[in-house]
């Protein structure tokens, strides 16, 4: 079944190419293509050995043999569920899609973006990864710029410049790593597996390479102070663009830290643990406070995303199984919950043509079903137990508590602050006196129910029973940590992991 990953990566792209010649029923076509893609990713999960630690379904063939550039793809417990998340969000996004302007171009752009996002999570050759990484900018730039609102061109250009500049710096790090591998072995290779198995990198080089990768990954997360493009992008993007951006594209940055920065530069990761934790705490608190004062529903959710991504970063740099597994699970839960919230905002915008909080009030009286689902997703976002949002957030903070209890306690405040601003939003929008202008708002229709129900089911199911997801993730994280242990060169790093140095007697 080696071909299955390549089929999953390129099937949406093939669908986009065929969509060029289709003139009618394009939305139905997109739903069918994304539905087949979701079925293929579920088949991948079914065939996946959940007890294995290493990569599976690896496919490889040479591209530029002289420089060790190959097409290599594979998945482990970490990337598997990000692939499934991408296809699942695309499927429900196409069901929800209600854009009437240039629908064909939008669907083609979204199908291309789906292929690229899955390629990012599957690539095991660093040049292949970087190609997918950079290509992801193009469809999203087009989606924001062509179908957005307000200052959409400014938002699109700002998104592109921030992420492109950071990515160029990361490319320098990738090229130097390949050169370093060539110096050590006499062979050119961009294979991530080869880099994992190579000799450890000296600490001084790790520092600079970590910072090079940090520039590309931190902008994508986005970490403070590189976050300023995100509120603009969310604010001006069409609903489907915000759903994809929040649910999947932001996870490319946190995935990069888990996949590259930690295992390749373990000593630098430990060295920068506290500075990155401080930046993450700023993200958590700053995002929550700014969300509280917003008068635009979409901006509240955008800034809450910054806050939640800070919790994910805290979990990643706990550098233990609990925190790292929790952070990967939180990537999935944040993707589904934030995607659902942006979809809900889009639904009310279609009816009212405004996202300003003070234009609403009391709409629970006329939209009870909408209010109930929004309330569920709001509480899941705030980390309510027995919802998907609680599991990842709790494990991330628990893992970091083992490293820095006081900082973890401060980060835990995010749960309280998150509940405050989300409940405040809910009170203003859904309760109080019903304005006569809102009296004729219609409740959720069949199309919207079809898009929302799968999200509701997943949020509750994986909140009550997260084991099917957590078990394979744990195996992938344990493999990542074993690579970190192998590639550590400083005694302080080995002490951090509680490992006795094999070099003590030398």
285-336 residue pLDDT tens: 888 888 888 888 888 888 888 888 999 999 999 999 999 999 999 999 999 9
The answer to whether residue 426 scores a pLDDT higher than 70 is yes
Q: What is the mean pLDDT of residues 91-104?
A: 86
Number of Cβ within 10 Å of residue 305's Cβ equals 29
Q: What is the mean pLDDT of residues 418-445?
A: 85
The answer to whether residue 400 scores a pLDDT higher than 50 is yes
Q: What is the mean pLDDT of residues 74-89?
A: 93
Give CA–CA dist 234/263, Å, rounded: 32
Q: Is 96 inside a domain boundary?
A: no
Q: Is 335 inside a domain boundary?
A: yes
Q: Is 137 inside a domain boundary?
A: no
Q: According to the model, what pLDDT value does residue 359 have?
A: 85
Q: What is the mean pLDDT of residues 448-476?
A: 93
Q: According to the model, what pLDDT value does residue 376 have?
A: 93
Burial class (CB in 10 A: 0-12, 13-18, 19+), 13: middle
Q: What is the mean pLDDT of residues 175-204?
A: 91
Residue of 360, 339, 338 whose CA lies nearest to 349: 360
Q: According to the model, what pLDDT value does residue 500 have?
A: 56
Q: According to the model, what pLDDT value does residue 501 have?
A: 52
What percentage of the chain carries pLDDT values higher than 90? 50
Q: Is 288 inside a domain boundary?
A: yes
- Summary mean pLDDT of the chain: 89
Q: Is 313 inside a domain boundary?
A: yes
What percentage of the chain carries pLDDT values higher than 70? 98
Q: What is the mean pLDDT of residues 133-155?
A: 86
Q: Is 329 inside a domain boundary?
A: yes
Q: Is 314 inside a domain boundary?
A: yes
pLDDT tens-place string over residues 249-299:
889 999 999 999 999 999 999 999 999 999 999 988 888 888 888 888 888
Encode burial over 192-231: b for 16+ CB neighbours within 10 A, e otherwise: bbbbbebeebebeebbebbbbbbbbbbbbbbbbebbebbb
Q: Which two tokens stand for residue 222?
A: 């986005």
Q: According to the model, what pLDDT value does residue 1 have?
A: 64
Q: What is the mean pLDDT of residues 197-222?
A: 91
The answer to whether residue 117 scores a pLDDT higher than 90 is yes
The answer to whether residue 471 scores a pLDDT higher than 70 is yes
The answer to whether residue 502 scores a pLDDT higher than 60 is no
User: Which residues, 6 or more positions from 2, have their beta carbon under 8 angstroms from its beta carbon?
Assistant: 57, 58, 59
pLDDT tens-place string over residues 454-464:
999 999 999 99
The answer to whether residue 113 scores a pLDDT higher than 80 is yes
Within 1-60, residue ranges assigned H as helices are: 3-19, 26-47
**86: confidence class by pLDDT, cuts 50, 70, 90:** very high
Domain count, the chain: 1
Q: Which two tokens stand for residue 487?
A: 């590639």
Highest mean pLDDT among 49-53, 236-240, 388-392: 388-392
Highest mean pLDDT among 51-55, 349-353, 476-480: 476-480
Q: Which two tokens stand for residue 283?
A: 């993200």
Q: Is 441 inside a domain boundary?
A: yes
pTM: 0.91
- By residue range, what is the domain housing residue 399? 279-464
């Amino acid at each position: 079944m080696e071909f299955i990953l390549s089929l999953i990566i390129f099937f949406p792209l093939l669908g986009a190419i065929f969509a060029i010649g289709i003139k009618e029923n394009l939305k139905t076509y997109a739903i069918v293509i994304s539905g087949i893609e979701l079925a293929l990713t579920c088949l991948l999960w079914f065939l996946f050995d959940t007890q294995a630690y290493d990569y599976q379904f690896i496919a490889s063939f040479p591209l530029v043999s002289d420089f060790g550039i190959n097409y290599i793809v594979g998945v482990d417990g970490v990337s598997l569920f990000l692939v499934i998340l991408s296809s699942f969000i695309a499927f429900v996004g196409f069901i929800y899609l209600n854009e009437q302007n240039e629908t064909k171009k939008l669907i083609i752009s979204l199908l291309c973006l789906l292929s690229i996002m899955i390629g990012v999570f599957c690539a095991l050759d660093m040049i292949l990864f970087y190609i997918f990484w950079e290509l992801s900018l193009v469809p999203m730039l087009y989606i924001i710029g062509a179908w957005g609102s307000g200052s959409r061109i400014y938002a699109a250009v700002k998104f592109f410049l921030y992420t492109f500049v950071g990515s160029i710096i990361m490319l320098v790090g990738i090229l130097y790593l390949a050169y370093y591998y060539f110096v050590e072995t006499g062979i050119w290779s961009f294979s991530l597996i080869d880099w994992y198995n190579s000799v450890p990198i000296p600490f001084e080089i790790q520092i600079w390479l970590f910072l090079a990768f940090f520039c590309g990954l931190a902008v994508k997360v986005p970490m403070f102070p590189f976050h300023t493009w995100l509120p603009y992008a969310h604010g001006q993007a069409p609903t489907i663009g915000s759903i994809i951006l929040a649910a999947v594209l932001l996870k490319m940055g946190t995935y990069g830290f888990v996949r590259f920065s930690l295992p390749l530069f373990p000593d630098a990761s430990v060295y920068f643990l506290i500075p990155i934790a401080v930046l993450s705490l700023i993200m958590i608190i700053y995002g929550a406070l700014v969300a509280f004062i917003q008068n635009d529903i979409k901006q509240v959710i955008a800034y809450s995303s910054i806050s939640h991504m800070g919790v994910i970063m805290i979990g990643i740099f706990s550098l233990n199984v609990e925190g790292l597994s929790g952070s990967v699970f939180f990537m999935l839960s944040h993707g589904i919950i934030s995607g659902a919230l942006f979809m809900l905002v889009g639904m009310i915008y279609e009816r009212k043509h405004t996202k300003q909080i003070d234009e609403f009030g009391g709409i629970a009286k006329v939209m009870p079903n909408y209010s109930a689902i929004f309330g569920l997703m709001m509480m899941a976002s705030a980390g309510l137990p027995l919802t998907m949002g609680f599991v990842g957030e709790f494990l991330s903070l628990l893992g970091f508590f083992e490293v820095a209890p006081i900082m973890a306690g401060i980060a835990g405040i995010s749960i309280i602050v998150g509940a405050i601003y989300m409940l405040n939003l809910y009170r203003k929008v859904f309760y109080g006196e019903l304005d006569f202008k809102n009296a004729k708002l219609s409740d959720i229709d069949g199309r919207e129910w079809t898009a929302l129900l799968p999200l509701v089911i997943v949020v509750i199911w994986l909140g009550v029973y997260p084991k099917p997801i957590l078990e394979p993730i744990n195996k992938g994280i344990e493999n990542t940590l074993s690579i970190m242990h192998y590639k550590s060169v400083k005694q302080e790093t080995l002490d951090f992991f509680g490992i006795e140095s094999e070099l003590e007697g030398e």
